[in-house]
């Protein structure tokens, strides 16, 4: 993957030999991907996961085609369907958007198994049944407190760097002093697909009275960028994935953004300073926040107008660019249909917070 003139591969090569001891807390999508990247760069990496074994809940997720570029073969093995068309419905109106690059429906447990194998094949050690409980400076680095889930026995291990990939309610974040991030529960349902429904199509209904939110796990609500690094004494602590709130607040997609967070954290650990990948991820997440704020107060009439204003050129932009290219989508849509900008500004000026009431 290109970063200006320097590829991440080159950056990883630069990092080689600087064998740091890294503890990654959380063995799931973001944690295993970070562990694989760091182990490949020559770091000594241990992933600590509280579950007794690798048994992620099976769940289908929809992601953009960017996952293919980021993961290659490991991602490919998790794909179970490709989505080539989106249909948007509201108030008797419909808009159809074909996708130039198909979205991917993936099986989460297959993805996590593949990522775990990849991390181990790069040399990372994976320890199950180990819950992270505490973090403190021990002079030359960090003392990481671990509790065995089987018998509650505790032990300490040393690390130069700790990466918190432990999800929305991250204990690493709490131990290192990050403020608690807002979260909402998200419910996913298994539904029978109607016989006339094409399998390569996703249908979205904008009917705010019927679907205030598709809302069983907690997911972060991105309401501002979380700086991903903190120092604890001489040690460095990073957050990645849901632990850092790297979830698009429009679609609650966190898989691809978590992988981008992993790339950014790897760059930052290996080279120090600000990572380009993280800067670009921040811009992306901020744009999704802007879109979310814009449509947050939308009433039925606003959605109807939105669908009415979608001309051929607007649809073309939506076909061409994925949800992970928000800046391009917004730019092209504004050029092709300026009245959408006015509609958006009106929504934005209503100024309502997107956070659940008890978390404002
Ligand atoms: C119902 C639902 C549907 C979703 N649908 C989509 C979708 O369609 N597309 C999409 O892109 N995203 C979707 N998401 C979001 C996406 O699943 C998450 O953003 C992503 O899985 C987060 O991965 P992660 O590795 O950062 O965190 P997690 O998957 O939450 O992993 C955290 C890991 O840390 C471990 N852990 C936690 N605490 C500790 C501790 N103290 N010590 C050791 N280990 C610990 C946990 O056991 C877990 O294995 C959905 C989320 C939900 C809840």
In degrees and rounded to multiples of 5, residue 27 shows phi and psi of -105, 80
Q: What is the pLDDT, as a whole number, of residue 97?
A: 87
Give, for 122, the enclosing helix (H) or strand (E): none
Q: Which of 48-62, 143-157, 193-207 has the lowest mean pLDDT?
A: 193-207
114 lines ligand 1 (CB under 6 A): no
Answer yes or no: is the C-beta of 215 below 6 A from any ligand 1 atom: no
Mean model confidence pLDDT for the chain? 86
What is the per-residue DSSP string for 153-215? -EEEEEESEEEE---TT-HHHHHHTPPPPPEEEE-----PPPTTS-TTEEEEE--TTT-S---
pTM of the model: 0.89
Q: How far is the centre of ligand 1, averaged over its atoms, from the C-alpha of 29 (Å)?
A: 7
Say if ligand 1 is within 6 A of residue 184 CB: no
The reply to whether ligand 1 has any atom less than 6 angstroms from the CB of 347 is: no
The CB of 277 under 6 Å from ligand 1? The reply is: no
Q: How confident is the model at residue 137 (pLDDT cuts 50, 70, 90)?
A: very high
Question: Bridge-partner residues for 185, per DSSP?
Answer: 218
Taking residues 245-257, what's their average pLDDT?
93
pLDDT of residue 316: 78
Cα 317 to averaged position of ligand 1 atoms, centre (Å): 31
Tell the residue number behind the tokens 């991250």, with chain if given.
Answer: 170
Asked if pLDDT for residue 214 goes beyond 60, the answer is: no
Instruction: Report the nearest atom of ligand 1 relative to the CA of 187.
Output: 1
d(CA 342, CA 247): 27
- Å from CA of 246 to ligand 1 middle: 11
- Is 241 touching ligand 1 by the criterion CB < 6 Å? yes
Q: What is the pLDDT of residues 271-321, one digit of tens each?
A: 988 799 999 999 999 988 988 888 777 777 777 877 777 777 777 777 887
Distance CA 80, CA 105 (A): 6
Apex CA 246: angle with CA 243 and CA 247, to 5°? 115
Question: Which ligand 1 atom sits closest to the C-alpha of 216?
Answer: 1
- Tokens 């700790």 found at: 162
Give pLDDT, residue 140: 86
Best residue among 238, 252, 323 to mutate for probing ligand 1's pocket (most ligand atoms within 8 Å of CB) is 252
CA distances from 320 to 134, 229, 253, 281, 291 (A): 46, 35, 19, 20, 18
- Tell me the C-alpha distance between 25 and 34, whole Å: 11
Give the pLDDT of residue 15.
52
**Is-contact 22 38, C-beta < 8 A?**
yes
Pocket lining: 49 vs ligand 1, CB cutoff 6 Å: yes
CA-CA-CA-CA torsion sign (191, 196, 202, 203) = negative
For residue 133, give the ligand 1 atom closest to its CA. Answer: 41
Find the 252 Cα to ligand 1 centroid distance in Å.
11
- Closest residue by Cα to residue 31 from 255, 241, 272, 173: 241
Please classify residue 200 by burial: count the beta carbons closer than 10 Å to its beta carbon, then call 0-12 exposed, 13-18 middle and 19+ buried.
middle
């Amino acid at each position: 993957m290109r970063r200006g003139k320097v590829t991440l591969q080159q950056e990883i090569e630069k990092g080689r030999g600087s064998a740091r001891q890294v503890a990654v807390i959380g063995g799931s999508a973001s944690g295993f991907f970070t562990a694989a990247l760091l182990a490949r760069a020559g770091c000594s990496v241990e992933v600590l996961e509280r579950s007794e074994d690798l048994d992620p809940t099976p769940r289908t997720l929809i992601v953009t085609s960017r996952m293919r570029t980021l993961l290659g073969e490991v991602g490919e093995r998790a794909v179970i369907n490709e989505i080539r068309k989106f249909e948007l419905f509201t108030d008797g109106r419909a808009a159809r958007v074909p996708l130039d690059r198909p979205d991917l429906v993936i099986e989460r447990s297959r993805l996590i198994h593949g990522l775990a194998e990849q991390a181990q094949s790069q040399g990372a050690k994976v320890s199950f049944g180990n819950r992270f409980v505490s973090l403190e400076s021990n002079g030359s680095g960090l003392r990481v407190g671990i509790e065995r889930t089987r018998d509650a026995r505790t032990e300490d291990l040393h690390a130069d760097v700790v990466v918190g990939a432990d999800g929305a309610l991250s204990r690493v974040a709490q131990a290192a002093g990050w403020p608690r991030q807002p979260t909402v529960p998200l419910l996913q349902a298994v539904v029978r697909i109607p016989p006339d429904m094409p399998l390569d199509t996703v249908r979205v209904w904008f009917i705010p009275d019927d679907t205030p939110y598709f809302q069983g796990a907690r997911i972060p609500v991105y309401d501002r960028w979380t700086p991903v690094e903190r120092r604890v004494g001489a040690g460095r602590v990073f957050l990645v994935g849901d632990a850092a709130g790297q979830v698009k607040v429009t679609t609650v997609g966190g898989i691809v953004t978590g992988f981008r967070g992993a790339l950014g954290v790897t760059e930052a650990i290996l080279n120090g300073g600000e990572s380009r990948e993280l800067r670009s991820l921040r811009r992306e997440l901020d744009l999704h926040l802007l879109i979310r704020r814009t449509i947050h107060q939308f009433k039925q009439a606003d959605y109807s107008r939105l669908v009415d204003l979608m001309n051929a050129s607007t649809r073309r932009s939506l076909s061409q660019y994925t949800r992970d290219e928000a800046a391009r989508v917004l730019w092209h849509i504004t050029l092709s249909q300026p009245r959408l900008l006015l509609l958006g500004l009106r929504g934005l000026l209503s100024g309502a917070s997107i956070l659940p009431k008890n978390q404002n």
